[in-house]
Amino acid sequence: MKGLQSASHSRPWYREPWPWILMSGPFIVVVAALVTAWIAVKTDDGLVTADYYKKGLAINQTLVSSEQARKSGLTAGVRLADRGLFIRLQATAPAFVLPSLLLVSISHPTRAGLDQTFQLPRTGDSYRSDSIHLPVAGHWLVLLEDDKKTWRLLGNIVLPANGETIIGASEETK
Residue-wise pLDDT tens digits, 24-61: 999 999 999 999 999 988 887 666 666 778 878 888 88
Asked, for residue 173, whether it belongs to a domain, the answer is no
3-class DSSP assignment, residue 124: coil
Do 22 and 66 reside in the same domain of the chain?
no
Distance CA 84, CA 131 (A): 6
Q: Number of structural domains, the chain?
A: 2
- The 10s digit of each residue's pLDDT in 150-168 is 999 999 988 888 888 899 8
- The 10s digit of each residue's pLDDT in 104-136 is 999 988 887 888 898 999 988 889 888 788 777
* Structural domain of 123: 52-168
Asked, for residue 174, whether it belongs to a domain, the answer is no
72: domain CATH number is: 2.60.40
Radius of gyration of the chain (CA): 29
Q: How far is C-alpha 155 from the geometric centre of its chain's CA atoms?
A: 12
pLDDT for res 109? 84
